[in-house]
Copies of this chain bind each other. A is one copy, B any other.
Amino acid sequence: MTQQPFHHGNLRAVLLDQAERTLRQGSVDDLSLRELARQAGVSHGAPRSHFIDRQALLDAVAERGFERLTEEVGRAGAAHPTDLAERLRAAATAYVRFAVTDAALLELMFSAKGTGSAPGVQAAAGRFFSTFGALFDADLRAGRFRGTDPERTRLLFVAVLQGVAALIASHRVSAEQGAGLVDEAIELMLA
């Protein structure tokens, strides 16, 4: 009875969970469809029913990553509705934490491969960027930033976070130094 096929329509979710776990302790190269199937206790052909090929699985993982990042950054920002600098710091902290605990996932999310093709990933990335932009909106209009072009200001902050994440992922700076860099950036951006 307990030996009946382990999954009933949730193999897809099981594979994605396992893929995320694998990414958390290795690189995207370590992600093998056959190994995932093995860990899920199904045959190596089974994933085919849910993902047309390996890239489709990676796309789904990236999409999920963007959704989680959006949620975590958005929540961190929402905790500070009045204080702008504090809100940016909180959002940045959430971003850096994500970059530290899920370095390989973030790399996958922002690789040309991940963002280049799949529309689902594109859409999820778009939602992330607009949620991120919303952190600035009211204060941008109020002119509390030194920057000139509002859109530019937003993108610049994303670039800083992304760059800091890359420096941390490549072990060039520590997570603490990364937080310091973010603080410095916020300081420079505020009028």
On A, residues with C-beta under 8 Å from B are: 27, 29, 103-104, 107, 110-116, 125, 129, 146-149, 152-153, 155-156, 158-164, 166-167, 169-173, 177, 180-181, 184-185, 187-189
Contacts and interface: CB of A to CB of B under 8 A. Distances in A.
- Total identical chains: 2
A82 B147 CA distance: 26
Contacts of A112: 27, 103-104, 107, 169-171
B163 A159 contact: yes
Nearest to A166: B162
Nearest to A173: B155
Contact of A156 (B110, B160, B172): B160
A31 to B, nearest CB: 12
Contacts of A185: 156, 159
Given A107-B111, A110-B169, A155-B181, 8 more contacts: A104-B112, A112-B170, A115-B170, A129-B172, A146-B188, A159-B164, A159-B181, A160-B160
